[in-house]
Structure 1
Amino acid sequence: MTLVYFLIQPWKASVASTLEPLRSLYQTGLENGDNEYAAWAITIHCHYSYLAGHSLEKLATKIAHYRASVSQLQQHAASNYLGIYQQVLLNLLGDGDHSNNSDQCDQLEGEAYSEAKMLPIQLAASDRTGLCYTYLNKGILAYLFSRPQAAQQHFDHALCYSSGISSSQWMPALLFYDSLSCLAIGNIQQLPRVIVNQEQLKTWARLAPMNHLHRWHLVEAERCRLSGEKAIAIDHYDQAIALAQANEFVQEEALANEIAAQFYLLWGKGRIAQSYLIDAYYGYSQWGEKAKIADLERRYPMLLAAILQGPQQNLSSTDTILAYANTTHTSTNTTSAADAIDLTTLLHTSQVLSSEMELDGLLSTLLEAVIQNAGAEKCILLMPKSEENQLEAEWVIEALAELDQPPVLLTSQPIKPGKEVPLSLINQVKHTCEPTIVFNAAVHASLAVDPYVLRHQPKSILCAPILSQGKLIAILYLENNLTIGAFTGNRVEVLNLICTQAAISLENARLYHQTQCALSDLKNSHIQLVQNEKMSALGNLVAGIAHEINNPVNFLKGNLKPALSYVKDLLGVLDLVLNDEPREMILEEMEEINFAFVQEDLLSLLHSMTFGISRISDISNSLRTFSRADTDYKVAFNLHEGLDSTLLILKHRLSAGESCPPIEVVKNYGELPNIFCFAGQLNQVFMNLVANAIDAIEEHNQQRSLAEVINNPSRIVITTALADSQWVTIRVTDNGPGMDADVQARVFDHLFTTKPVGKGTGLGLAIAYAIVVEKHGGTLTVDSEVGKGTVFEITLPVEH
């Protein structure tokens, strides 16, 4: 299994994925008494930890520990190989015998390994693996410390012994650094060698891009630099950096940044070079390569001056965020916020913030203003999930904005450690209610180990509380990944002005939101009343429905007795026939029961009973159609069935009373397709409109004489039509008393009614309007004239 994780898995998976299995194999070997097996497993584990970019300081300690263990196991070859890498780490950490001399930085001489002593032994033993390890690492050290000619000589030797490492992950490293040293020398005659190396790296990158693709891009960048293809080179540099970062090869990310910085310096673009060089500096710092850090400081003191002599920033408190006094080592002049940005812009921002009442709009405006004026590339607003006890409440991300991108509202997204913000910094600001301005996050005492900072490597950070009357209501997190010390005193003054207005606006938005929630609750209560009113109306109609059902039931009951008598008589005649009684006796019995009449009347009774049963079935179906429960989505529905079920339920109110004739219903139904709708809700609308028409007619009839009613009969006309292929119309017309203009203007208002107390809630038509307009995207209008009647018209989309 050791060979699998040494020679097979890294060619298709990340090098880092082999580390834990190799360490486990070491333990297994010790437990099983297989010392050689254990020694090689831990040796490879240490080698690949180095390749994977693990912390040099921790790795040096680990290698020293495991090397002592391997020596005790009498595994000398493995111990010697660990010694080579232990000495390499000591050189990089600045603890080698020649670490402070760049001309001899590639000499592996020190407490862990002596090349002067070991190289002759390795040559005598034909130890091709040991020789290749030695020359390969001497070459890498020479290249890292800007001695490409010496590196090339070492790589020439390493290639002679490369059969000793041909299947391990050191082979891609050898070709990678060999190509870089060839290109650094700038000898065109070496290009064929680079091309051959690149073809091999490209093949490996296809198999395991996470291990090798960034290397291929970096070599390509250098090749394009040498051939003058600057635009293509830039793209390859950036891809190499991004891929190395994504796959956590911190040492090769730093190397790519350093080489890119050299490219821009040669091009004469010092400011861009400075940004890449600073990234390289922090990358090497993260890896722990102290000798390289010192080398960069010696070679590029001017470009690194910004981080080696950065200004300290003193903080003082205000009501919203804590601005700091602008102390700079380059100038003694102070600059006001009014000089930092256009005063008109600041006033406009304040006005826009103060005019925003909706929280979503306010958050978008606030983040846009901060991004534009505070020098941030990324801005996140965090707020407590509940208003009580902000310290213990869960804090969530409400909005995020990035430079040149519109703000994104995240609707209370939980904070995940290491994902969006440095959680340790947020907690600090939350508890202290004081801002933190981080000049450089990578070297900050506490933030350098925060999971977010380790993963995303931000440069400048500003984290500020937003306070309203001393109460913490939000936290603003700003980040700049291009420049260290981005949040200057002027910019923080501007941010303070913006946040002062933001604190007021956020509080106003909170109050407005509470008001809207209360209004929403009230509206929801009205919606609940919709259902209550529907069921109440249905309950009030039970008596009428019972009457409708009682008619056919009583009819059935009245017909059952004679039907049973007829059947009994017919069964008597049948018994005579079955008993072979004389014909004369059978005829006499038939004459006695009047057989011909019974035969005719029984069929008539059965037909009429069938009609009664059908009538009961129709009533039941109508009730089911009317009271059907709606789903969460619209379904196909026949509007005529809904109208008919409504008329059937209201039939007892349409029938003639003791003192007035019946109300005539005229149905002018057109050809309608089924429409997609909430059928139960539309039935409620139909019930409301027809019942209101009946109420209006009954009220009108009370003011007329019987003769007047007979001469001008009460009438409700229901008309349906297909307006075009996309819309249907339903009109409910009555010849009741009509309504004046004032009543028509308020007829759909909540709680408005013209009925006496106890007979109307003022919700029916308001609910009907909400169902038609808000739920179905249709229209509901009224047209009425006093003394002539009223027309309610519904239009609904077909929505196939």
Structure 2
Amino acid sequence: SVTMASYPDLHGLVILKTGNYTARHGNTAMSSVGYLGYSITAGIILGNYPLGEELCRVAIALADKYGNSASSSIIYFVAGALISHWTRPAREGLAYLEEAVRHGVEAGDVLIMGYAQVLLLEMPYWMGLPLEEFKQLVHRKGRIARQLKHDNLLNNVALYEKLVSLLQEREEGETPPGIKAARWQESGVREIVQKDGASLGTYHILDLYLNYLAGNYAAALQAAEQVYPFMGSIQGFLISAEFVFYHSLAIAACFRELPACERRRYRRIFRKNLRQVEKWASFCPENFAHKHWLLAAEKARLEGRVEEAMGLYDRAAQSAQENGYRQNQALACELAAKFYLSLGLKRVAGAYMEDAFRGYCRWGAFAKADQLAACYPDLLAGARRPGETLEEAPAAVREGVAGLVMPGAGEITAGMGMLQLAGEAAAAAGEAGIQKLFAAFLAHAMKVLGADKGYLIMEKSDEFFVELARENHRELPAEQAVPLEEFPLLPKAVIRYVARTLKTVAFNHREQWGIFAVDPYLAEYNPKSVVCLPLLFQGIPYGVAYFENSILPGVFGEEQLEAVKLMAAQMAYVNQVKSYLMHRGERLQKKGNGQLVEPLSERELEVLRLIAAGLSNKEIAERLDMTVNTAKTHIRNIYGKLQVNRRVQAVEKAKQMHIL
């Protein structure tokens, strides 16, 4: 471990030479170190994370077999610090680090013990441990650091102790309230860690992080530039992913305000980072899927893809919640709120901002919660910390309640439509099931748009069926779903295009028909206004909604269309709809041994991953350099092997079976 700390290049050469010797002559007590070198090379350097994990497991097995505590402490440390989190939930890495400490104690290796304790401090923070619990952890690690006289551990205790104090501090009368990122540089912690390259890299990452949370995006970008000289010290550690994540978020936050000369460079950095996070998410969605979806949402926002951004923000928040990343769930809600506010959807923005406020409070970042209350008093009027009285709330909240003015009755917002939909849907589901819930959505959407016809077309076994039809405010009777190809009263070219591209089609005059002018239905019936939009659940398409006004042109305005898009996006998160999409289906097996009748081929796995990423058949075909028909054939094969009949079900079943 002394060689690893003082001469890392020499240490790397030694362990790779050990691996080469093992490959030629067979296993010995030191072979585990050689496999460890191969593991680092395959995973961290070459990016083949599954192979890196596999080789690391071989190293652990050999270390356990020969019982060499000195080797075992290093191997378990590397497993927990550099290897595990790229393919397994981050909490599993903590178990490896605890083992590294145990073996370090047996071997008397103070250096490895201290480095493992650093990661046992750092990783829980980024995993979303509540800050009150984290403060206690910092104090415990501080005592250990003083006992071991371990400089790197002492440095990290100082860094994270100051970080928590800035996130939690709340001084009455401060203007404005919130995170005081400038105090990070004034705190003196830089001087403490000045001689430790790894700690100094962490210092600059935390500087970037605090400035981003405080809304100081230009300062965040400046801090990011200071990290690059220390990348060699943080490569492979979980904090390196946090750097990529927050650097990208800072770029997205201020991209439109950047000088033209800098946009090209930052656009290139953002795209590179997004590809990297997407790769990490493909190998370990528990740790990285929410990060990928949040960055993808920000990209969609910047590129004006409104509906896609809606779904991505929700997917990010849900994934963060499911995997315990409390702070990132709150952040996803905050960014979603700002996004909806930019669209003029104030009530919807308020709902998301309240979720963000409460999320930061539950995490313990009270300075951040106060900052939101001060910046968005209209959205957070009445919002208080859990268990807090109105008198104890921030001044901005108290003033917001006193001066609360409700929007006028004529304001068109998707939030009100969604509240009505959710109420009626919940009641309807108890009476007649999912069809009534979809009917409630269809009726509300038609009312908002001013449509006289509405249809829900759902995907099943990669084909489309008309599930629900409504004309002139009455639901048409339908004993069973009708295949789209057998339904004469719809523009099939429009619906196929939307299903294939996942793009909304809207036109208010015949002159806007363009490529669809040859559609037989349009040519014969000449509807005056048409809207067709994809239906998505967690970014995965499950159907299409079609609306028209057969009499009046120019009916479907932009505000109304955005409201219906929001209703469609939110409908997928009503519990009955989620259950229907993920579990309903004649071929979906609820029981069984959890094994595939026939394994998926490598090509089918590639297609399945792209389905999970929300790509359409056309996009899958383009990405994998195949025809759309070939892509559809692979999808049908996937459905058959997984015993499902919808994309959403395929992804859910694959996650349950740990295929994704």
Q: Which has the higher contact order (CA 8 A, sep 6+)?
A: 2
Q: Which structure features the higher share of strand residues?
A: 1
TM-score normalised per structure 1: 0.38
> Which protein shows a greater Rg?
1
Q: Which structure features the higher share of helix residues?
A: 2
